[in-house]
Amino acid sequence: MRLADLHEDLAYASMRMDVINGSAQSSISMLRSFDYAFVFAAVFPRAGARGVGKTVRPALMGLLLEQVRFYLELERAGLVNIVRRRGDLRPGVNLLLSLEGADALGDAGDLLLLRELGVRAIGITWNEDNRFASSCMARRDYGLTSEGEELVKLANELGIILDVAHASKRTVLDVASASKKPVIASHANAAALKGHRRNLDDEEIEAIVRTGGVIGVTAIRETLPSPTIQGIVDNLKYIGEGFGWSHVAVGTDMLGIDETPNGFEDVLRVSELAEATGHGDELWGNPLRVVSESLGDR
Ligand SMILES: [Zn+2]
């Protein structure tokens, strides 16, 4: 059994629960039940309750380091393999470190630091606008700024995958046209099935597809046409049948959501999505293709 999941919030959740041996939504021990698990492990530098107040940038960088260190310690304990280069997958649990939101960065050059830390994917925004781009919550959608363009260029050069989950429409279109490598939306659904600020309309999906990227269909209840496993299947089919099965994946957001969809209580249920769609090979293989086209050899 193989699992590819473009978004799980292991480090952030580890501050309040046991994500190593726990049995809620996802944990290292649950992931170990797969022959191969390949998970984009979020680094989500946010202080306190979500959406409350702002944290100054140096403090965000501190939180970022703390969460990267958590993953490095998992690796040192022999519990996971951290994917740093193409072809780096091993039996067991493989994590690709993925920064959710670029708010902690002072400028694009900070990517040089992140790369040394092992970070291989970056979400350009979370739910707040930043110096690089506007977010899905933007009141005025300015898209990618010139600093954002630098970020895209350097990420391409350094082999860091660009993620437009949480981005505004203009940001999605701008990043897709600026990037020379596949772009992902690690955890988002189709706006055609459910109008929601976090969801992607057909033009955005098309733009991501043109980069050779993938959309990770997600388990966030509010973004689904119905808060059930069927709602997830409906999204997979909508994107797979309408835009090509080479461009769809799963990005559960396990441990980052308060409540899972009915019938989709934990990460083990991802296997049922493969059965329901008959496209398990693509759900596993598409993220691997993006990684091999994006990451470097060291
Ligand atoms: Zn998110």
pLDDT digits (tens, 9 = 90+) for 88-101: 999 999 999 999 99
What is the distance between the alpha carbons of residues 194 and 4, in angstroms, rounded to a whole number?
Answer: 24
Closest CA to 120 of 79, 88, 162, 92: 162
- pLDDT tens digits for range 114-149: 999 999 999 999 999 999 999 999 999 999 999 999
What's the pTM value of the predicted model, to 2 decimals?
Answer: 0.96
Whether 28 contacts 20, CB under 8 Å = yes
Ligand 1 center–CA 175 separation, angstroms:
18
CA 204 to ligand 1 centroid distance, Å: 17
Can you name the residues that pair with 215 across neighbouring β-strands?
Answer: 185, 248
Q: What is the pLDDT, as a whole number, of residue 55?
A: 75
Ligand 1 centroid, distance to 15 Cα (angstroms): 17
Give the chain's domain count.
1
| Cα–ligand 1 centroid distance for 51 (angstroms) | 12
Give the pair of three-digit tokens for residue 9.
């919030």
> What pLDDT is recorded for position 48?
54
269: which 2 tokens? 């249920």
Sign of the CA dihedral with 116 first, then 121, 124, and 128 last: negative
Question: Residue 135 C-alpha to ligand 1 middle, in angstroms?
Answer: 12
Cα 126 to ligand 1 centre (Å): 7
Pure H helices in 186-248: 202-210, 229-243
Helix, strand, coil percent content, the chain, rounded in steps of 5: 40, 20, 45
CATH number at residue 107: 3.20.20.140
Ligand 1 centroid from CA 77, angstroms:
27
Are 141 and 134 within 8 A, CB to CB? Answer: yes
Residue 254: strand pairing partners: 8
pLDDT at 56: 80
CA distances from 269 to 17, 32, 237, 263 (A): 21, 14, 17, 8
Burial grade of 206 (CB within 10 A; 0-12, 13-18, 19 or more): middle
Cα–Cα nearest to 143, from 166, 122, 167: 167
Find the largest Cα–Cα distance for the chain: 47
Report angle CA 104, 258, 251 to the nearest 5 degrees: 65
Q: How far is the CA of 58 from the centre of ligand 1 (A)?
A: 21
Model pLDDT, residue 112:
98
**How many angstroms is it from 103 CA to the middle of ligand 1?**
14
Distance 298 CA to ligand 1 centre (A): 28
Parent domain of 21: 2-294
Sequential pLDDT tens for the chain (298 residues)? 999 999 999 999 999 999 999 999 999 999 999 999 999 999 999 865 455 567 788 889 999 999 999 999 999 999 999 999 998 999 999 999 999 999 999 999 999 999 999 999 999 999 999 999 999 999 999 999 999 999 999 999 999 999 999 999 999 999 999 999 999 999 999 999 999 999 999 999 999 999 999 999 999 999 999 999 999 999 999 999 999 999 999 999 999 999 999 999 999 999 999 999 999 999 999 999 999 999 998 8
